[in-house]
Amino acid sequence: MISENLFNEAKKFLPGGVDSPVRAYKPYPFFAERAEGSKIYDVDGKTYIDYCLAYGPLVLGHANPLIIEEVTKQLKNGTAYGVPTENEIKLAKQVVKRVPCAEMVRFVNSGTEATMSAIRLARAFAAKNKIVKFEGSYHGAHDCVLVKSGSGAVGLPDSPGIPEDTTKNTILVPFNDEKAITELIKKEGKNIAAIIIEPVMGNVGCIPPKEGYLKFLREITAENDIVLIFDEVITGFRIAEGGAQEYFGVTPDLVTFGKILGGGFPIGALAGKKEFMDMIAPSGTVYQAGTFNGNPVSIKAGLTALKQLDSNFYSEMNLKGNKLRAGIQEILDSQNLDFKVAGLSSMFQIYFTDRDVLNYEDAKSAETDIFQIYFNKLLQDGVFIPPSQFECCFLSLMHDDDDIQKTLEVMENAIKTVKN
Active site residues: 138, 231, 259
**Pairing outcome for strands 227-231 and 192-197:** parallel
Q: Give the CA angle between residues 280, 286, 288 to the nearest 5°.
A: 70
- Span from 82-90, 105-113, 173-181, 294-302 in contact with ligand PLP (CB under 6 A): 105-113
- For 67-87, b/e burial (b = at least 16 CB within 10 A) is beebbeebeeeeeeeeeebeb
Residue from the set 17, 37, 243, 258 that interacts with ligand PLP by CB under 6 A:
258
Nearest-angstrom CA–CA distance, 228 and 215:
11
What's at 353, amino acid-wise? T
If binding is defined by CB under 6 A, does position 139 make contact with ligand PLP? yes
In this structure, what DSSP letter does residue 29 have? P
Burial class (CB within 10 angstroms; exposed 0-12, middle 13-18, buried 19+) of 239: buried
Q: Cis omega (within 30 of 0) on the bond before 27?
A: yes
- Span from 134-142, 166-174, 372-380, 398-406 in contact with ligand PLP (CB under 6 A): 134-142
Shortest distance in whole angstroms from residue 353 CB to ligand PLP: 22
Nearest-angstrom CA–CA distance, 300 and 56:
19
If binding is defined by CB under 6 A, does position 198 make contact with ligand PLP? yes
Shortest distance in whole angstroms from residue 57 CB to ligand PLP: 9
The count of C-alpha atoms lying within 13 angstroms of the C-alpha of 420, restricted to the half-sphere facing its C-beta, is: 6
If binding is defined by CB under 6 A, does position 140 make contact with ligand PLP? yes
If binding is defined by CB under 6 A, does position 394 make contact with ligand PLP? no
Shortest distance in whole angstroms from residue 268 CB to ligand PLP: 6
End-to-end Cα separation, the chain, in angstroms: 35
What's at 240, amino acid-wise? A
If binding is defined by CB under 6 A, does position 202 make contact with ligand PLP? yes
Shortest distance in whole angstroms from residue 8 CB to ligand PLP: 26
Closest residue (Cβ) to ligand PLP? Answer: 111
Which of 348, 285, 284 has its CA nearest to residue 320?
348
If binding is defined by CB under 6 A, does position 38 make contact with ligand PLP? no
- The residue (of 202 and 302) whose beta carbon lies closer to ligand PLP is 202
Instruction: Name the β-bridge partners of 173.
Output: 134
Nearest-angstrom CA–CA distance, 150 and 147:
9
If binding is defined by CB under 6 A, does position 55 make contact with ligand PLP? yes
If binding is defined by CB under 6 A, does position 234 make contact with ligand PLP? yes
Residue from the set 51, 125, 138, 375 that interacts with ligand PLP by CB under 6 A:
138
User: What residues have CB less than 8 Å from 113, skipping those under 6 apart?
Assistant: 140, 268, 290
Restricting to residues 259-318, name those near ligand PLP by CB under 6 A.
268
- The residue (of 166 and 315) whose beta carbon lies closer to ligand PLP is 166
Shortest distance in whole angstroms from residue 187 CB to ligand PLP: 27
Instruction: Please count the residues of this chain forming the interface with ligand PLP, following the rule CB under 6 A.
Output: 17
Site map for ligand PLP, 346-385, x if CB under 6 A?
Answer: ----------------------------------------
Shortest distance in whole angstroms from residue 146 CB to ligand PLP: 11
Shortest distance in whole angstroms from residue 234 CB to ligand PLP: 5
Nearest-angstrom CA–CA distance, 352 and 38:
26
At 139, is the secondary structure helix, strand, or coil?
coil
If binding is defined by CB under 6 A, does position 203 make contact with ligand PLP? yes
Interface residue list for ligand PLP (CB under 6 A): 55, 110-112, 115, 138-140, 151, 198, 202-203, 231, 233-234, 258, 268
